[in-house]
Structure 1
Amino acid sequence: MTDQTMAGRTVLVTGASDGIGAETARVLAQRGATVLVTGRSRDKLRPVAEAVGTEPLVADFARLDDVRRLAGQVADRAGTLDVLMNNAGGTFSPSRTTHDGHEPNFQVNHLAPFLLTNLLRPTLAAAGRSLVVNTSSIGNLMGKVVLDDLDYEHRKAREFPAYGTGKLMNILFTRGIADRWADDGITSAAVHPGPVGSSFGRDSRIVGLLYRTPLARFATISVPDGAAPLVALAERGPDPEVNGRYFSRFHVDGRENRQASDQALIDGLWERSAALVGIG
């Protein structure tokens, strides 16, 4: 008999079309959670939604209006939200800006989940105690946040450093939630799932060479193994011990960017992101 560790809890998983997002959604549903799923590909998302017993919520994080619509759909379907898994993301060529005019690694990896989470704050708070999990990466070590140039208007954006900066922003955002939303009972954690052999980086030729070649199997882990740390955090729930922490798989990791604990950056990134997406 399946262990119903998530019974009675409602979860939203973003980036659930495939990879660790899809696997996380399936496992949490098997463990009793009511699971909502979103992704940008309706064709890929539909079988995942069917497997977890819900309907696909299609949204492209390169369009902030899609994120706003998604937040409304989630709020309509779920009076409360116990766990928000901000898993959508990837690495993208900076040469093409998003529909909203932003550098894509910045928008898809940070700005869109920042907006979604803020819009869902009332739904998370309504649960009494809830958890936000942000999928980060060891790539945060390559990142550098420049508050006065978040969109690379005054410096050249390069794909891997821009991706790493987005993953660093995931940690800064996690700590911003911990600082600001404790009175709402909202806890946050960031996690590096490991080098997963999935469709990660499908928009990047370079990442494709690294992750999807015959040699990659020696350096990557399976999708179920990659999803396991996300599932473990969801099961753990709003434990104060995880609040504001960055995990490397199952363990609190000291290998994080030096900027990740800079309070001026935590606050500055929040304030500038809020202004860019038009929220108070």
Structure 2
Amino acid sequence: MTIQTPFDESSTADEVAAGTDLTGKRAVVTGASSGIGVETARTLADHGAEVTLAVRDTDAGEKVADDLRARGGRVDVRPLDLADRASVAAFVDAWEGPLHLLVNNAGVMALPERILVDGQEAQFATNHLGHFQLATGLHRALAAAGGARVVAVSSSAHLRLPVLFDDLTFDFVVYDPWIAYAQSKTANVLFAVEATRRWADDGITANALMPGGIATGLQRHVDMEALLAVRRAAGASESLKTVEQGAATSVLCAVSPLLEGVGGRYFEDCHEAPVLAGRGESDGRHGVAPYALDPGNAERLWTVSEALVSP
């Protein structure tokens, strides 16, 4: 049975977290120097969590941290470049003690040209492999927390494409910014499926989510007017979520008691998304593709990812 909650697409992160006491919990939010990462970190800190902002731009991160500290939040900033394996390894090595919440929020979108990072396509390397290395590197810390949660921020873009296991780097398939992005977002969902299976005995659960359409720095390579025109042509709403609404499903997956012990699922608009039988059922924005939840695909991706991030 799919999980339904009292919240919806208009709910905010504060509304989802209302009544939650995170005192004594430690959280890491990647990409918490802008966009929904800031709002996610703020909500967790406001409710008592000790929050680490894992960011590439530490100056921007410190400005966010100062604002959160002024609200009484317990916040620190640590450098993390998900496209740099050495940076991820350094973050992991420096971590001490348990970790209760890991929100894999950072990402890049629709890079106009194919860029290889350590031999891997940049969107796949950043959005998936960097977070994979981070989460597996922090596995002991997550296990030590007891009941830890991992949150993978995915996208409805995953509906465009499964993971291209035979051509991850687009050596033969013609590179397209959105296709490459879609592959990385499918990978985020598959990670949540396999992490939940592998780490069940440690009490760790992982869920993926679609935050909704939000105008943030993530869209720096996107023609927003053209994107809205596509949505109009498809008969979809042109309205975008606020940052407060966009962070709601991330916060739901991170702290809601309704998801206690729940993992390996995909959420949107604060509900578990329905699994689509085929493209004809999709409006391109809602639902989850069965290939993104397929346990065989998830296990295969994990094995491939382990090999790609190994020294």
With the length of structure 1 as denominator, give the TM-score of the two structures.
0.89
1:94 to partner: Cα distance? 5.9
1:17/1:71 Cα in 2 relative to 1: closer, same or farther (>3 Å)?
same
1:54 aligns with 2:54: no
| Structure-to-structure mapping, 1:98-177, within 5 angstroms | 98-177=116-195
1:54 to partner: Cα distance? 2.9
**2:26 corresponds to:** 10
**2:309 corresponds to:** 277
Residue range with higher mean Cα deviation, 10-19 or 151-160 = 151-160
Does the 8 Å contact 1:62/1:98 carry over to 2? no
Letter in 2 for 1:190: A
Number of aligned residues: 269
User: Which runs of 5 or more residues in structure 2 are unaligned?
Assistant: 1-17, 275-286
**1:42 corresponds to:** 58
Letter in 2 for 1:224: E
Q: Distance in 2 between matches of 1:179 and 1:131?
A: 13
More contact order relative to length (CA 8 Å, sep ≥ 6): 2
With the length of structure 2 as denominator, give the TM-score of the two structures.
0.81
User: Which runs of 5 or more residues in structure 1 are unaligned?
Assistant: none
Post-superposition Cα deviations, 1:247-268, rounded to whole Å, max 9, x if no partner, equal 0121010111231132321111
Letter in 1 for 2:57: S
1:264 aligns with 2:296: yes
Letter in 2 for 1:56: V
**1:239 corresponds to:** 260
**1:222 corresponds to:** 242
Letter in 2 for 1:272: V
**2:271 corresponds to:** 251
Does the 8 Å contact 2:212/2:246 carry over to 1? yes
| Secondary structure at the counterpart of residue 219 of structure 2 | coil
Question: Runs of 4 or more off by more than 6 Å in structure 1?
Answer: none
Does the 8 Å contact 2:49/2:74 carry over to 1? no
**2:8 corresponds to:** none
Does the 8 Å contact 2:265/2:293 carry over to 1? no
| Secondary structure at the counterpart of residue 189 of structure 2 | helix
Letter in 1 for 2:272: V
Q: Distance in 1 between matches of 2:225 and 2:83?
A: 21
Alpha-carbon RMSD across the aligned residues, in angstroms, is 2.1
Q: Distance in 2 between matches of 1:23 and 1:198?
A: 12
Q: Distance in 2 between matches of 1:94 and 1:80?
A: 39
| Secondary structure at the counterpart of residue 51 of structure 2 | strand
Identity in percent: 36
1:68 to partner: Cα distance? 1.0
Choose which of 200, 203, 212 in structure 2 pairs with 1:194: 212
